[in-house]
Amino acid sequence: MNEPGTINIIARAYLDEEGYLMPLEKWDRNVGWLLARGIVAGNLTEDHWRVIEYIRRYYVEFDIVPPIRKLCRDTGLKLSSIYKLFPTGIAKGPCRIAGIPSTIFNLPQTVLYP
């Protein structure tokens, strides 16, 4: 039975051994919200979603996550603000919530942090 003010969300998604979403096409905001549990304390704010959805759009278009400087510039957020939103880091925070596969993080570090 649900508590007042709660809803049930049914999502069929599969996670790899590191907790990243498989396949990419199964993502939507509900799945993102579920993936955020345990990564983000409290509710996801519009700033959280701005970062998550930007990373996702960039990945879908270019098949790679955006460079950190581009992420900051295009979202209008400072790097320090992003780390406050996602204290576990960029890879384990917004990338995981955005449904980006863990295999992307096998690329050279310079791709993510120019």
Which one, of 45, 31, 107, 114, lies nearest residue 82 by Cα?
45
Identify whether 23 is part of a domain.
yes
Is the confidence at residue 23, as pLDDT, over 80? no
pTM for the whole structure: 0.76
* CATH code of 85's domain: 1.10.10.370
Tell how many helices (H) and how many strands (E) occur in the chain: 6, 2
Total count of domains within the chain? 1
Is the confidence at residue 13, as pLDDT, over 80? no
The domain in which residue 82 lies consists of 14-104
Identify whether 112 is part of a domain.
no
Is the confidence at residue 49, as pLDDT, over 90? yes
Higher pLDDT, 6 or 62: 62
- pLDDT confidence bin for 6, thresholds 50/70/90: very low
Read off the pLDDT of residues 99-112 as tens digits, 9 standing for 90 and up. 888 776 665 544 44
Identify whether 6 is part of a domain.
no
